[in-house]
């Protein structure tokens, strides 16, 4: 049961509807009664603040959201208002989620659409990485389609700042993300870096072009084992009209070992903008050796699986 219902007030904000729930927060569409604008309230679960690391993660998300100012990134609104409890006020994006739009399609998307979306996301990632922010949970459910078809990256709950110390949950390991889109290094408990976002970008493009994610399984552990030890089926075997150069870019972004992927989004964008002149044969598409096993979740496995269930679905 959500903490707030439509009509409830939180400081100057009137709750309009529940937008969704996450691992440690609830998001609401709300009206700012002072000026009539629509915003998003991201309200953390107060019970989790007993863990200092959880509170630190909330503060980090707030810091990240407040420093981002880009049309393709959902930022925070900080008007200096004294708040009755800790919560984030975010810009509201009128539109659909990329996840919902892709599920409506129920199959591969037009190639032109995938390339357009891929370019928009890469440009947004280039901005984030330039600001020292790694998203670490890029997926269709965390991308909104705003007016005019403009994509907006949202949800920085697991993002990290370059140089920031590592935070550890009391009941969770460092393995955070969504299994379908999680990079192999994150599946092993690594912090991830810009190349982890590039891997997730590749998975999203693969899904857009083929209508399916590269790895499947009966549970999240099986899916992540695929990232570590399996090889995605070539796009050409699932869809014959995808240009070889585009397939090469997507598959290069999804290489298992970070050092074998694009090393920066700028490099990725350069290739994405030069598809007509790229030589697909220049890219190594041979199978990669398997990575080690998943990081053990130990006693926190139940909560970890709950986390994935709530964060997943994109």
* Geometric angle at alpha carbon 26, from 60 and 68, rounded to 5°: 35
CA gap 231, 284 in Å, rounded: 13
Bridge partners (DSSP) listed for residue 295? none
CA-based radius of gyration for the chain: 20
CA gap 197, 164 in Å, rounded: 17
Nearest Cα to Cα of residue 311 among 151, 172, 147: 172
| Residue 218 a catalytic site member | no
Which one of the listed residues 11, 78, 137, 218 is annotated catalytic?
A: 137
Nearest Cα to Cα of residue 204 among 266, 137, 158: 137
Length, in residues, of the chain: 314
Residues noted as catalytic: 137
């Amino acid at each position: 049961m959500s903490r707030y219902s439509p009509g409830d007030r939180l400081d100057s904000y009137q709750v309009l509807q529940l937008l969704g729930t996450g691992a440690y927060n609830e998001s609401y569409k709300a009206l700012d009664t002072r000026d009539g604008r629509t915003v998003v309230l991201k309200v953390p679960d107060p019970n989790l603040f007993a863990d200092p690391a959880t509170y630190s993660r909330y503060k980090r998300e707030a810091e990240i959201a407040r420093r981002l100012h880009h049309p393709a990134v959902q930022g925070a609104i900080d008007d200096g208002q004294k708040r009755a409890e800790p919560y984030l006020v975010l810009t509201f994006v009128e539109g659909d989620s990329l996840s919902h739009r892709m599920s409506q399609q129920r199959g591969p998307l037009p190639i032109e659409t995938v390339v357009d979306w891929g370019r928009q996301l890469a440009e947004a990632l280039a901005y984030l990485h330039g600001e020292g922010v790694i998203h670490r949970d890029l997926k269709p459910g965390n991308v909104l389609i705003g007016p005019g078809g403009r994509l907006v990256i949202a949800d920085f709950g697991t993002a990290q700042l370059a140089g920031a110390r590592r935070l550890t949950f009391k009941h969770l390991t460092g393995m955070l993300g969504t299994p379908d889109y999680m990079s192999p290094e994150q599946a092993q408990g690594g912090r991830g870096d810009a190349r982890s976002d590039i891997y997730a970008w590749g998975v999203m493009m693969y899904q857009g072009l083929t209508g399916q994610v590269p790895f499947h399984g009966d549970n999240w552990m099986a899916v992540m084992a695929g990232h570590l030890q399996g090889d995605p089926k070539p796009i050409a075997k699932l869809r014959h009209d995808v240009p070889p150069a585009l397939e090469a870019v997507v598959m290069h972004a999804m290489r298992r070992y970070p050092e074998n992927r694009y090393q920066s989004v700028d490099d990725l964008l350069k290739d994405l903008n030069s598809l007509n002149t790229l030589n697909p044969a220049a890219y190594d598409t041979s199978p990669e050796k398997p990575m080690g096993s998943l990081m053990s979740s130990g006693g926190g496995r139940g909560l970890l699986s709950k986390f994935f269930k709530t964060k997943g679905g994109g």
